[in-house]
Amino acid sequence: MTHWLHRTAIAGLMALTPLAALADETPVKGATIVVTYKDDIATLDPAIGYDWQNWSMIKSLFSRLMEYTPGTADLVPSLAESFEISPDGLTYTFKLRKGVKFSNGREVVASDVKYSIERAVNPKTQGPGAGFFGAISGFDDMSGGKAEGLSGIETPDDQTVIFKLSRPDATFLHVLAINFASVVPKEVVEAEGQDFGKKPVGSGAFVLKDWVIGQKLVFEKNPNFYVADTPKIDGFTVEVGQEPLVALLRLQQGEVDIAGDGIPPAKFLEIKNGPDAADIIVDGEQLQTGYVALNTRVKPLDDVKVRQALNMAVNKERITRIVNGRATPANQPLPPLMPGYDKDYKGYAYDIEKAKALLAEAGYPDGFTTALYASSTDPNPRIAQALQQDFAAIGVKAEIKALANANVIAAGGTEGEAPMIWSGGMAWIADFPDPSNFYGPILGCAGAVQGGWNWSWYCNKDLDARAIAADSMSDPAKKDERAKLWGSVFTDLMADAPWIPVFNERRVVAKSKRMGGPGNIYIDPTRVINYDAIYVKQ
């Protein structure tokens, strides 16, 4: 048996701001803050919500068996007190913390965990996250409508949950930490039906007090939350429908504490060079890679030499300047924060002559004509233009198709439709900090299907087998070996060049001067804003 102390740890990924600098900061008691977003909050139902605004709010309203230490990717038990993994990696046994209550006053018991995960898998819920639980025994029957529940979840008593897996899944603890695994009270869900997302009840750090549709959401501290000294603020109000530019003006005047949409490109340099920059701007790496998908099933991109030539044609430094330097050039699919990222891998260097030579070798000395799809939201059309110019330098004429995200996604998921897609605005951000999440849906054979997200339509059976082998290594003691194996999958696939990895974008959040704490609780790798951890300083 392996005890939880062997963390899946990816510890120390995010360099914590030196603690000494924060030592003299004391959180103000009883503070409430204001957060703004442009878009309305869609839903707070943890089985359904899947955008980056509601993601962090759902995190704070509900609790899950596993959680991450704030600001890091370190897994720790949360609603679970302890757990054990069987040597074959197929049985996970969790002991629940005693005395945890939903905000309606009822105690959280093991059957709630079972109910909540079954609800996320149940087709009737229309949840996007069902597939994450694919390793649990009985998943196929339930997802296919043949069973009402998951045979692989057992609750011998109120304090014990046992998961039986149909295959080893090294990411399973991460799966139990994502929002879709949040624990909800059955009686409230059944009473509210589809309106549960507007009237959520959970056992997290905060409680939703009020929701004025189209205007604001008021969150209040859960006085009974089981984690000591958490949260550190008494509440927060989310004001929606706020234009980022206006939100920023309000922030500078002290009316707003966090401008959730960050700093609009037009204002970025002014703020960055302003006197308050250090206090206002939080700039952090996230688990994201912006890339050009090269469709391996469209001529002439089906020729690996053509794809390699395109990789060499892109001036990534110049493209990072288009986003005001808020990104770092990338050479492989995995972002640097992800376990398995290969520091020593060099990728395809920018080399126009070599690119031209490769194109000539492939039989296209004069280039060819193709199309580049991109999201129509700024700055993506501008990035597409820069790519277009880079491609033109080696004789490849790419027509830009700037469309609404949904249309680009639809074209990408249709075989033979989009030769090249710039992923910006729709780019892959990891659901949890594990490399497997960067492979299956976007680079594996499973994603190369109608409506899938593998826009390169790249399918390498050999790499798929290695991916499965890596995900079977669920013994936490083997985490380094596993990360290495994963890293090699990504660098090896770059030989086939299904992507042009362009950059790893950093997220920027604007906060008022009174907000305290390190930057990585405002750009938390697993939840963006960590409402449980942020505080107002004296």
Partner 1 sequence: MIELILRRFGGALMILFGVAAITFVLLYALPADPAVQLAGRSATAQTVANIRHELGLDQPLIVQFVHYLGNLVQGDLGRSYTQKTEVMTLILARLPATLILMVSGILVEVAIGLTLGTIAALNRGGAVDRLVMTVSFIGVSAPQFVVALLLLYVFAATLQWFPMAGFGGFSHVVLPALTLGVLGAGWYARMVRSAMIDVLNQDYIRTARAKGVAERTVILRHAVPNALLPIVAMIGIDIGQFMGGVVVVEAVYGWPGIGQLAWQAIQQVDIPIIMGVTLISSLAIVTGNLIADLVAPLIDPRIRAR
Contacts with partner 1 by CB under 8 A lie at: 38-40, 42-43, 45, 48, 50, 123-124, 126-132, 134, 143-145, 194-195, 197-198, 212-215, 239-243, 245-247, 249-250, 253, 255, 404-407, 409-411, 413, 428, 431, 437, 441-442, 446, 449-453
Q: List the beta strands (DSSP E) in 71-173.
A: 75-77, 80-85, 91-96, 153-157, 160-164
The CB-of-407 to partner 1 minimum distance in angstroms stands at 5
Nearer to partner 1, 40 or 107 (CB): 40
Nearer to partner 1, 7 or 38 (CB): 38
Helix or strand run (H / E) with residue 490: helix 479-493
CB of 469 to partner 1, least distance (A): 21
380-392 and 304-313 are packed helices; what angle lies between their axes, rounded to 10 degrees? 110
> Cis peptide before 300, with omega less than 30 degrees from 0?
yes
Nearest to 83 by CA among 481, 433, 526, 476: 476
Give the residues across from 77 on adjacent strands: 66
Residue 252 CB: number of other CB atoms within 10 A? Answer: 17
Unique residue bearing structure tokens 């083997």? 478
Nearer to partner 1, 200 or 518 (CB): 200
Residue nearer to partner 1 on the CB measure, 12 or 128: 128
Phi and psi angles of residue 500, each rounded to the nearest 5 degrees, phi first? -110, 100
**In this complex, which beta carbon is closest to partner 1, that of residue 233 or of residue 259?**
259
CB of 321 to partner 1, least distance (A): 26
The CB-of-372 to partner 1 minimum distance in angstroms stands at 17
Q: How far is the CB of 409 from partner 1 (least distance, A)?
A: 6
Tell me, what amino acid is at 393? Answer: A
The three-class DSSP label of residue 340 is coil
User: Which of 105, 144 has the CB closer to partner 1?
Assistant: 144
Q: How many CB atoms lie within 10 A of CB 408?
A: 25
User: CB 140 → partner 1: shortest distance, Å?
Assistant: 8
CB of 528 to partner 1, least distance (A): 16
Contact 332, 435 (CB under 8 A): no
**Which is nearer to partner 1, 127 or 476 (by Cβ)?**
127
We find the least distance from the C-beta atom of residue 463 to partner 1, in angstroms, to be 19
Q: Are 111 and 39 in contact (CB under 8 A)?
A: no
Reported as half-sphere exposure (CB side, CA atoms, 13 A), residue 351 has a value of 11
Question: How many helices, marked H, and strands, marked E, lie in the chain?
Answer: 17, 22
Instruction: Report the nearest approach of partner 1 to the CB of residue 149 (Å).
Output: 16
Are 425 and 375 a contacting pair, CB within 8 Å?
yes
Where residue 126 falls (left for φ over 0; alpha for ψ -120 to 50; beta otherwise) is left
Q: How far is the CB of 233 from partner 1 (least distance, A)?
A: 21
Q: Are strands 258-259 and 535-536 parallel, antiparallel or unpaired?
A: unpaired
Rank residues 127 and 498 by Cβ distance to partner 1 and give the closer one: 127
Q: Which is nearer to partner 1, 134 or 149 (CB)?
A: 134
Q: Between 435 and 519, whose beta carbon lies closer to partner 1?
A: 435
Tell me how far apart the alpha carbons of residues 7 and 109 are, in angstroms, rounded to a whole number: 25
User: Is the previous residue joined to 123 through a cis bond, with omega within 30 degrees of 0?
Assistant: no
